[in-house]
Chain A
């Protein structure tokens, strides 16, 4: 059974870079037909897609965040990562990683999520 788990600092200072890693177990990240994706949920708000990456390294980002986002993949470690630069309080959110179906775009499964707070 495929499982995903987010890890990284829970507190980031304004203007710094948020860095998270998603570790995949129970299956390979080198799965044809699937992306690794990041989705976030600010407190009291809805879900926002951040971006997705194929195991080849091809990426697709939300234009609203594109200038600040980098998603990368490390197939040797079965992981993919998120970097979000120049963070502000508006980036405070629960960050989820998920597997995304290439052809139909659904997200399944998801990690448990990790709360990242941007504060000095």
Chain B
């Protein structure tokens, strides 16, 4: 199985901050990397596919980059509604696997 490792596991930031979350795959996954936002009690929300393509309707302050084994999710200017847990997911091969999550909290 391909292991996905996110860092940091948690992050405290303020509204307006720029934040970056890193996701590393245990082997090359090309650009088969997706990002999700998850708030407690809600359905996960799909943000980015193919490492850097923004899903329709997702604010442009979200961006993704990377290929191979190293990927990043950046939020350029944090808004109050962005405080949540973020997960990366590889879709290069089955079993599809997720990172352990990065919890973004208000400072």
Are A49 and B32 interface neighbours, CB within 8 A?
Answer: no
Q: How many A-B residue pairs have CB under 8 A?
A: 59
For residue B14, CB closer than 8 A to chain A, the reply is no
Specify which chain B residues have a CB less than 8 angstroms from the CB of A105 in the assembled complex.
Answer: 32, 34, 89, 91-92, 96
For residue B99, CB closer than 8 A to chain A, the reply is yes
Are A109 and B46 interface neighbours, CB within 8 A?
Answer: yes
Are A113 and B43 interface neighbours, CB within 8 A?
Answer: yes
**Chain A 37-78, CB within 8 Å of chain B: the 1/0 string?**
000000000111100000000001011100000000000000
Instruction: Bin the interface of chain A by size.
Output: 20 to 34
Specify which chain A residues have a CB less than 8 angstroms from the CB of B41 in the assembled complex.
Answer: 112
- Since A46-B99, A101-B49 are in contact, a sample of 9 more A-B pairs with Cβ atoms closer than 8 Å, ordered by chain A residue number, is A46-B87, A46-B98, A47-B98, A49-B94, A60-B94, A63-B95, A96-B43, A107-B46, A109-B46
Kindly list the 8 A-B residue pairs having the minimum CB-CB distance in the complex, ordered from nearest: A105-B91, A108-B46, A110-B43, A47-B98, A49-B96, A62-B95, A106-B34, A46-B100
Q: Which residues of B contact A (CB under 8 A)?
A: 32, 34, 36, 41-46, 49-50, 55, 87, 89, 91-92, 94-101
